[in-house]
Structure formats: structure tokens, C-alpha cells
Amino acid sequence: MTLIKSISGIRGTIGGKVGDNLTPIDAVKFASAYGTWLKSYRNKETYNVVIGRDARPSGKMIQELVINSLQGLGINVVSLELSTTPTVEMAVKLEHADGGIIITASHNPVEWNALKLLNEKGEFLDGKEGKAILDLVEAEDYDFSKVENLGKRTNHNSYIDLHIEEILKLDDVLVEDIKQQKFKVVLDAVNSTGGISIVPLLEQLNVEVIQLYCEPTGQFPHNPEPLKKHLTELSKTVIKHNADFGIAVDPDVDRLAFMDENGEMFGEEYTLVSVADYILSRRAGNTVSNLSSSRALRDVTEKHGGQYTASAVGEVNVVKTMKDTEAVIGGEGNGGIIYPDLHYGRDSLVGLALFLSHLSQKQMKVSELRKTYPSYFMAKEKIQLTPQIDVDEILKKVENLYKDENLTTIDGVKIDFENSWVHLRKSNTEPIIRIYTEAPSQNKADELAEKMISEIKTLT
């Protein structure tokens, strides 16, 4: 089916032919390239890499291939087994490791898997580092170790607990205030590692958890992307149990979405908006999200006297911009919270703890909290690519067509109109052009997306 190589890692469907899909051979080649690059980059005598995976069925197989490849290069491995993306990122920091690999295809369906690559800070690699690894994959230039120098493996299954401990120490996480509220929530963990991470966090905060798909079997009961159309069971369960709100996470727990007490989506864009509102109410500071995220974050930031900056799409770009602007909170509009006081990575666990802290102070229902924020509506569409389509040429034509508008071209083309915007970009993970729009009503957002699709078709 599909194999996608990018600076952030390799992603593909399991089975099929080498080079066309994510096969065992591709996993070994990519892990070997990463390990080879790491040894050159760090230039030390001993090397340690942290490995963790989500619960999808192919994870164990890919994990063992990756670990054995790194050991063959003389690299020691700390295996977390079932874990979350933010937990692996935290573990790299706490272990003082040289890097990390997360085996997860994030929100993609069960037939997909991927290797996400981290540096010694527990952060995703930048473009230059990623390209160096891709070059090594193409060259297949690996130098494996002799038998006496093979890497060692250590299994460490307590890092989720350590991750939670670090969150509960944070000044902005109001542990006692949350406990007093005795919240009741429903959690949809899509049968992956949210069940073994979010549940114990909530239990330590005295939150009653009604568990929905919280066994880490890897058998996703629905499309794992936490969008409204996939969360009908969560909606019904929130209403049935008269819960305060619902929570949905993706398989590797770096995307966080909420549902109000009426079973209505809070809006994944507003996960970051609400958490930012809370942090900025406690201290002045700046915020960052990517170009495809809602204007609501800008509005909330400016209300608190801070400065909002938009980055190119991609966590590594958000993180760089956050560091450049000394942002106190940031992330992506897909429900990804990046809280620098803990670490520079999207983290649903800390995002949830901060949201609960916010609710404990606001003393209002989730539906009421949502009404306190500017109301924007988004449409997210896509156009499938074919070999005949020159994406860069299309984007250049769109840029020229709207040259008199407010344009941003650091990542595709974003056109800012007075009361709406549209962002067109080539996906890094799928063979598509993504089309994001935002407007004051859903109809207007949908109409703007359809207008752009029609115009693109006339340009091809």
C-alpha cells in the first residue's frame, strides 16, 4: 500500500513488498540508519536509546526488529514496552539517553505503523538531522559491532508512573483543588496505551473514570483519530452516566479531545485554547501554534497581553518557534499540548491535568467554559495526489491568484482574509494536499473549502 519516508521518521502499512510498505526489512534499515547517525552525531564510547510503542498488533514485531538492530550497532536499549509518545520523550530526558524511538502510527488506522525519532532532548529531529538519516537509508552504509561489543537491553516498565509523578509536581497542576471537585469523566482510549496512562493519572487526582475501550489490546473499536464522527459511543456514554465531560486520546496519547456534559464536542482546536487561557491567567507569556490552528488562540493570548506566533506545521517547527519566542504554552490545533515546564513535546497527560486545574478554578460546566471563547468553525478537506500533479506549481499559482491578500508561505500557502482564512499544504504523512479553512460559521468554512477545491482543480 504505502511507505512514507520523511525527516520525522518512516510510516507505512504492514505487509507487502520491501520499499513499498513498512516491512521487517524496512524497519531494520531505518533503525540501523538512525543508530548509525546517532553514533556519528553523539560521538561517544557508549550509547543509550529509549524505545516504546503503542498497542497496535504490529508493535511488538517492529519493536523487536528495532531493538535488535540497535543492539547490533553496539547501542544499549532501554525498552519501555507499552507506553505513550510523551512518556518516551520524558524517559529520554530522565535517562539522560542519547535518543529515542517511538513505534506508533499515531492516529492512523491499525494496519499502519511508524518509527518516530527523537534526539537526546527527547524532541523530534530537525530537517537536517532527518535528511542525514534518509541519506543513510539510501546508501545502506551501516557498520555493525563485533560480538563482544553488542548493545545491552534493559526493560523498564515504571516510566508511566514516573511521568505522572513529574506532572503532579508542577506548580500549575492544582492537585488538591482537582481532588475536591470529585469530577466524573468518561475516557475513550481506543484500546491503546491511554488506558494504562490516563486512567492512573485521573485516579491519583480523585477523578471517577468510566472506562471505554481502555484495554491495550490494539484492536481499535473505531477510527482512532479523535474526531466527532468517530466518537459517537463516547457521546452516548457521557450522557448515560451523567458525566462532567468526556475525554478521547489517540493511540499514542499525544492528541487530546474533550466532550462536554451534553455529549457535544468541545472542539479539538479548543483543547489548546482552554489550557493556554489557564496558563496565561496565572502568568504573562507568549503562545505558539501552527498555521493550520484556530485564530482563537491568538485572540485569547492577546486578551491576556501576550504575543501569539504561528509556525510551520509539524511539532519540531512548533517547538523551535516556542523556544525562539519563549512561549509559556503552545501546541497544535489537533489537540496537542506542549508545556515547556515539563518537556517540549505534545502531551495529553499534562494537557489533561492542566485542563482539570482550569475547571477547578472556573467552577463551571465544560459547555459553559466553551462559550467563553471566541467561536470559530473549521473545515478540513483533502485532495488525493497523483503522479501527474505538481503540487509546488499548484501552490505557486494559488499564491499568485491571491497575491493582493495577506499571505504566509513558510509552509504551503496560507491566505488570511478579514474574517476567515485558508491554508493549503502538502501532507508530510499522506500523499494528499490538505485544505484547512476557518470562518465565523460552519457553512462559511465549508463553502470556503469547496471554493478552494474548485479553484485548485481549474489550476491542474
Report helix angle 127-139 to 24-42, nearest 10: 120
Nearest to 91 by CA among 38, 29, 48, 28: 48
Sheet of 208-212, strand order: 208-212, 184-188, 245-249, 256-259
Q: Which residues make beta-bridge pairs with 240? A: none
β-pairing, 421-426 vs 432-439, is: antiparallel
SS3 assignment, position 308 = strand
- What would the grid cell of residue 208 be? 471517577
* 106 noted as active-site residue: yes
Q: How far apart are the first and last CA of the chain?
A: 25
**Contact indicator for 169, 176 with CB cutoff of 8 Å:** no
Which of 32, 79, 83, 106 is flagged as catalytic?
A: 106
**Contact indicator for 172, 357 with CB cutoff of 8 Å:** yes
DSSP letter for each residue of 292-305:
TS-THHHHHHHHTT
Place of cell 491499525: 110
Q: Exposed, middle or buried by CB within 10 Å (0-12, 13-18, 19+), for 348? A: buried
Q: How far is Cα 197 from Cα 188, in angstroms, rounded to an integer? A: 12
Report helix angle 269-282 to 296-303, nearest 10: 10
Query: What type of residue sits at position 264?
Result: E
Query: What type of residue sits at position 266?
Result: F
Place of cell 484547512: 436
Q: How far is Cα 236 from Cα 368, in angstroms, rounded to an integer? A: 20
**Contact indicator for 96, 50 with CB cutoff of 8 Å:** no
Q: Which residues make beta-bridge pairs with 432? A: 384
Q: Is the dihedral of CA 55, 58, 62, 65 positive or negative?
A: positive
Q: Exposed, middle or buried by CB within 10 Å (0-12, 13-18, 19+), for 46? A: exposed
Q: How far is Cα 106 from Cα 95, in angstroms, rounded to an integer? A: 24
Catalytic residues: 106
